[in-house]
Amino acid sequence: MGRPYRRRHQRSRQAWRARHPRPAARKRGDHRGGQPVTVLIFTVAAPLMSWGDYGRLNIRNTRKEPTKSGIIGLIANALGMGRTDSLSRFETMRIGVRVDQEGQWNTDFQTCDAGSKNYTMHKDYIADAKFTIGIEDTDENLREYCKALAFPQRPLYFGRRAFAPSEPLRPHIVESSLEDELLAGEGRVVVEPKDDDGQAEVVFDSPTSFAPKSRGWAPRLQKTIRAASPRKFGDRGTGTGSSNETSGLLDPVDFYPPVAGDKQ
């Protein structure tokens, strides 16, 4: 059973490599021919959201973090694009996601009356989650995306039309690398790596068309990074822990002072 899966995985990686040839070697810290790197940053938060992966027909699953397909769909909707419009403008985009609040994964069971036969559907969604999205692209594209997210031409939603944002997206452009900007905060970080270092996984999450009759996705690489930034004892609330955490919020208190004669 493992060999056919391994062959499919190798073919997917080879297909991704054919579409994304390895770039020429650059100097350390250099990018875009010496030009500083700019990144678009915005926040995604909502009571409910769904980022579909491979679900079809009566089973609609969701990933634990926003997908590239979902992010492109969000921006395309903000730009006022149609489903049949070309997505070639997004081919140079590289994305990353920081999980600021994991949220809860739930499944909604639905029934549909279709006359003589009833259909059932299982739809997954994430409740009370918050993410920071980073996009690396050309400066012209980033400025256009930033303006569209700030002043969208259509109402924005995350996966389904009923899943509206609970707070403004606050899009802004910073001069930094994608990885550095996302790792600056606490939480799990998932990025689209520049090169295949053998540690990334292949996911079919690069949309080629949103047309109803010809939807398609191409393979891309995805790598998970652990942004280890533990709070030290005595740090008063600078992190993003839960409200019932005492570590980092209170100074240590000795409720039982030593008594004369006790062994220390």
pLDDT tens by residue, 32-46: 555 568 999 999 999
d(CA 128, CA 148): 25
Give percent above pLDDT 70 in the chain: 70
The confidence band for 16, taking pLDDT boundaries of 50, 70 and 90, is: low
The confidence band for 229, taking pLDDT boundaries of 50, 70 and 90, is: very low
Residue range 92-132, pLDDT digits in tens: 999 999 999 988 888 888 787 767 777 788 888 999 999 99
Residue 15 is assigned to a structural domain of this protein: no
Question: Residue 204 corresponds to which tokens in the numbers above?
Answer: 């079919």
| pLDDT of 226 above 80 | no
Res 144: pLDDT: 97
d(CA 204, CA 13): 11
Question: Residue 87 corresponds to which tokens in the numbers above?
Answer: 């997505």
d(CA 36, CA 29): 9
Residue bearing tokens 């005595």: 234
The confidence band for 26, taking pLDDT boundaries of 50, 70 and 90, is: very low
Mean pLDDT along residues 179-203? 87
Res 246: pLDDT: 33
Residue 58 is assigned to a structural domain of this protein: yes
Give percent above pLDDT 90 in the chain: 43
| Closest to 99 (Cα-Cα) out of 6, 12, 225, 258 | 225
Residue range 133-176, pLDDT digits in tens: 999 999 999 999 999 999 999 999 999 899 999 999 999 999 99
Q: 185 or 254: whose pLDDT is higher? A: 185
Residue 25 is assigned to a structural domain of this protein: no
Highest mean pLDDT among 30-39, 131-140, 193-202, 247-256: 131-140
The confidence band for 249, taking pLDDT boundaries of 50, 70 and 90, is: very low
**171: region left, alpha or beta (phi > 0 left; psi from -120 to 50 alpha):** beta
- Parallel, antiparallel, or unpaired for β 38-49 and 117-136? antiparallel
Question: Residue 20 corresponds to which tokens in the numbers above?
Answer: 């994304």
Residue 213 is assigned to a structural domain of this protein: yes
Mean pLDDT along residues 52-78? 86
Residue 202 is assigned to a structural domain of this protein: yes
| pLDDT of 52 above 70 | yes
| pLDDT of 234 above 50 | no
Q: 1 or 117: whose pLDDT is higher? A: 117
Res 13: pLDDT: 60
Residue 1 is assigned to a structural domain of this protein: no
CATH number of the domain residue 165 falls in: 3.30.70.2660
Residue 64 is assigned to a structural domain of this protein: yes
> For residue 164, what are the domain limits?
34-227
d(CA 10, CA 94): 22
Count of the separate structural domains present in the chain: 1
| pLDDT of 28 above 50 | no
Residue 249 is assigned to a structural domain of this protein: no
Beta bridge partners of 216: 209
d(CA 61, CA 263): 60
